[in-house]
Amino acid sequence: MQMESTHKFSVDIIGVPVDLGADRRGVDMGPSAIRYAHLQRELSRTGCTFADLGNLEVPIAEMCKITEPKVKYIDCIVPMARRTAGAVATSMQQGHFPLVLGGDHSIAIGSVRGAAKHKKLGVIWVDAHADFNTPETTPSGNIHGMPLAALCGLGDPRLVRLWDETAPVLDPRRVAVIGARDLDIGEKENLHRAGVMVLGMEQIDRIGMFQVMEKALAHVMQDVDGVYLSFDVDVLDPRHAPGVGTPVSGGLTYREAHLACEMIAETGQLLGMDLVEVNPILDVQNQTASLAVELAVSALGRRIWVE
């Protein structure tokens, strides 16, 4: 029997069709793929109200140039992040739940900043990668590997600030990275110095997803107004989510991913969510986008009870 959360959200769907932060093209079609996977139908089944606000304006790669190899396409990514921050801040100011569809994970530089404009956030970052590189540590120069570092005050000032606001956006001691299994050497040092909690696949294997999420939520929910979930579908094992640009073997199972989202929903403190890195060019019959939709509605409170 299907049961729903008692808390009903007013969801704003915000598409950010950007692939400038990534190495492989195609993730800019992620918002369309997720919508095509019956996003609105599944949201309606949770009892949520929703409005699709369409896609934000984002330049395509052919309109931009790589002027700085250590922060590729930064001149186009910063304006995109500003627009994303504005859209998310407006949504939350209206008491709504922003559901931000990527696009690559560089969108979080804007989405999390917008969510934090009027709220003190704890953040759950579910990702095969920690996205905690800076221009000094990045092996690729791809900005989708830098958003969490920028939100915690590390890296290029243009990404850290976006405009003349106080930085950092997040207290790194209220951030937990779940499912990481592909970290760069300099990135590991950044994470350690910043005090970010990292609960990678080894910890999940050893103590299980339930205890990992209990630890993570207890860590990020101290002295905050609520939780923001930034979910990169490459955290899943590629057998479950083939449509990603940076697949890494040995990821979360279908049920582990759902349990993580269900436990976040149970807190009643979720304020907004990113769904990023769905690449339909690399997908099989849109199964990665369909799984992304399932995870979104789990985070919004949909549960399956077996009696």
The residues carrying an active-site annotation are 105, 127, 129, 131, 144, 232, 234, 277
State which H helix or E strand residue 210 sits in.
helix 201-220
Q: How far is CA 79 from the centre of its chain?
A: 19
Q: What are the distances in angstroms from CA 299 to CA 5, 54, 134, 174, 293?
A: 10, 21, 30, 19, 10
Q: Answer whether 58's CB lies under 8 Å from 46's CB.
A: no
CA dist., res. 69 & res. 239, Å (int):
33
Q: Which of 121, 46, 119, 106 is nearest to 73 (CA)?
A: 106
Q: Which two tokens stand for residue 49?
A: 């109200």
CA dist., res. 231 & res. 128, Å (int):
10
Beta strands in the chain, from DSSP E residues, in sequence order: 2-3, 10-16, 49-55, 97-102, 121-126, 175-178, 197-199, 226-232, 270-276, 303-304
Q: Answer whether 178's CB lies under 8 Å from 216's CB.
A: yes
- Enumerate residues 6+ apart whose C-beta is below 8 A from 39: 13, 293, 296
- Angle among Cα 279, 280, 281 to the nearest 5 degrees reads 90
CA dist., res. 305 & res. 307, Å (int):
6
